[in-house]
Structure 1
Amino acid sequence: MRILAKLAVAAVLLGGVAAVGGWVLSAPQRLDAETLAQVGTGDPARGERIFWAGGCTSCHGKPGSEGDARLQLAGGVELKTPFGIFVAPNISQDKTDGIGGWSAADLANAMLKGVSPGGSHYYPAFPYASYARMKPSDVGDLHAYLKTLPAVAGKAADHKLGFPFNIRRGLGLWKLLYLSGQPAVAFAEGTPDNVLAGRYLVEGPGHCGECHTPRDLIGGPKTGAWLAGAVAAEGQGNVPNITAGEGGIGGWSEGEIAYFLETGFTPDFDSVGGSMTEVQKNMARLTPEDRAAIAAYLKAIPAHPRGY
């Protein structure tokens, strides 16, 4: 009996140590002072480029809006996933319902670390796992541009999540596995500058891997099948393979990829559809050089068989 009692006490102690360890490891981590210093005061002209590359209006703008109405970032778009329903928040300059009271440091911590100004984890439906690859100075520029956009009153609805996904603290452990500022695709020394520029746009602000890369059971990207296509986040339909592998875009030239991003027309004279329609509208706002860089990167990455 004494042995059983000792084993029971040891099990309780080990459980306690594990619980404390998990609590410590799952704590939200903010940017260090050195990184925050790189955010700077920001340039709104440069920030507009990051705004369109990042597709901010696709989730946070009013669905179906056109023209200047796309810049009214009231949120409310719902993403229905196996984990629950995520609702894009108001990121307009309204100081009560939006992020008008945020500093550049607040935005940097949100985008690069997935941490709110109040110190809570954000859910990775907000694609900070990709934004983590961005330059802090680009986040500063984006903050400066967002400051030029209108304030829109109205708080978006809360997420609708059941247990255990409604426990935000557990996201700290998810981040340990999947949050990294390292590139998804490593290139050899001497890789052309335009390919590297395309990698930055695709893997960072463009967050293309969030939809085009398959995920594991806990929602982490399978980087070994980078951009190979995936089941749509909402569980209906598939997002295409955009590598040169099976069912991919290996037959497209760099020029055809860039033209698609600009106009929405494929080499077969089909037109963009579905959620990619909004993405293509954003890509059309970039410079020809940016679209060419994205195309060069997509032609340079490893080919993978279809990921779904």
Structure 2
Amino acid sequence: MKKVLAFLLVVGGIAAAVAYLLSTPETLPAQEVAQAGDGDAVRGETLFWAGGCASCHAAPGAKGEAKLVLTGGVKLESPFGTFVAPNISASAADGIGGWSLEDFANAMLKGTSPEGEHYFPAFPFTSYSRMTLGDVSDLFAFMKTLPAVDGKAAEHEIGFPFNIRRAVGFWKLLYLDPAPVIAAPSGSDVDQAVWQRGRYLVEGPGHCSECHTPRNAIGGLDKSRWLAGATAPVGDGKIPDITPGEGGIGSWSAGDIAYYLESGFTPDYDSVGGEMVSVQENMAHLAASDRAAIAVYLKALPER
């Protein structure tokens, strides 16, 4: 009996050690981050709007210049609880003013905080992980030009067991993958360079999949139904299918999509509504070539 208990203790200890190692937050090699150098704030502004930073981190309902005041506070409801976007202004006390590029890059690309803890995936680091380190550096340079505003956002409203940050490490093993999702289309009818830019913006900083792709019971994206529409996190709403299929935007031309992202008007002369209003306002800041690239990518997606 003693031998059995001793064996079980050893096995349990090994299992605990393995679980601890597997769930340890990952960080980027410091030397790799250092090679990125100082970012370009002008280029970084494009990433700021493409990434939708203001949609979550500006005050709820912010418009115009107020969208550059990133005090946080937006509540993101989910089946796992309500997550509250934090202050990411240049405040050293309550925002990211005291962060290094390494801190910022680890947050964006690995979902790891400066304190070495996992961020909850309500922060879309699974999409941001597809960004280049150079773009992350540019974005950080732009973020440092924005107003510093003190004041912490409210705490998350999530209960046990979803509030266990260490458990996010196991979730990351399943769903944190920086590889592109959609393979490049074959054929000469698609401009590959434009399509590649569109894929980068949609799958990376634009994080369109975070809303438009269905999730499983533990919040992982179902990549077999990429951008094919999803149930709204709360209520009975439906987030639309944006693939070229019959149930999606198959009747829209690439020009229609690009114009919608610029103006907020659909081909049927309807206007953007709901949470997409903020997304469209962000996309309107992009270069016309970037909106066109997004449209080319969406039109070339497999039909669902």
Unpaired runs of 5+ residues, structure 1, are: none
The amino acid across from 2:184 in the alignment is F
Query: For residues 235 and 125 of structure 1, what CA distance do their matches in structure 2 show?
Result: 18
Match of 1:252 in 2: 252
Residue 11 of structure 1 and its aligned partner are, at CA, apart by 3.5
Identity %: 60
1:170: which partner in 2? 167
1:15 aligns with 2:12: yes
Please tell me whether the aligned partners of residues 38 and 136 of structure 1 are also in contact (alpha carbons under 8 angstroms). no
More deviation, 12-21/74-83: 12-21
Q: Deviations over 1:59-84 (max 9, x none)?
A: 00112221111100000001111111
State the match for 1:298 in structure 2: 298
The amino acid that maps onto 1:61 is: A
Return the alpha-carbon distance in structure 2 between the equivalents of residues 35 and 178 of structure 1: 23
Q: 1:101 aligns with which of 63, 81, 98?
A: 98
Report the count of equivalent residues.
301
Partner of residue 113 from structure 2, selected from 113, 116, 119:
116
Gaps of 5+ in 2: none
Counterpart position of 1:286: 286
The 8 Å contact of residues 227 and 242 in structure 1, kept in 2 or not, is answered as: yes
Normalised by the length of structure 2, the TM-score is 0.95
**What secondary structure sits across from 1:65 in the alignment?**
coil
Question: Which digits, 9 at most, give the CA deviation of each residue in 1:211-264, with x for residues without a partner?
Answer: 000011111111111001111223441110000124200111000000000000
Counterparts of 2:19 and 2:99, CA distance in 1: 30
Instruction: Report SS of the residue matched to 2:44.
Output: helix
How far did residue 187 of structure 1 move? 1.4
Q: In 2, Cα distance between the equivalents of 1:37 and 1:224?
A: 37
For 1:63, the equivalent position in structure 2 comes to 60
Displacement of 1:136 in angstroms is: 0.4
Q: CA deviation at 1:88?
A: 0.1
Partner deviation per Cα, 1:31-55 (whole Å, 9 max, x = no partner): 1245313432000000000000000
RMSD of equivalent CA atoms: 1.4
Q: 1:42 to 1:189 in 2, by over 3 A?
A: farther
Q: Write the deviation string for residues 69-126 of structure 1: whole angstroms up to 9, x where unpaired.
A: 1100000001111111100000001111111111111111000000001111000100
Question: In the aligned structure 2, how far is the partner of 1:174 from the partner of 1:147?
Answer: 31
- Cα deviation for residue 128 of structure 1 reads 0.2
Alignment of 1:1-308 (within 5 A): 2=1, 6-187=3-184, 192-304=192-304
Q: Distance in 2 between matches of 1:21 and 1:268?
A: 56
Rounded Cα–Cα distance in structure 2 between residues aligned with 1:235 and 1:203: 26
- Are 1:39 and 1:108, in contact at CA under 8 Å, matched by a contact in 2? no
Read off the aligned partner of 1:13 and give its amino acid letter. V
The one-letter code sitting in structure 1 at the alignment partner of 2:59 is: K
Q: Deviations over 1:249-290 (max 9, x none)?
A: 011100000000000011111110000000000000001000
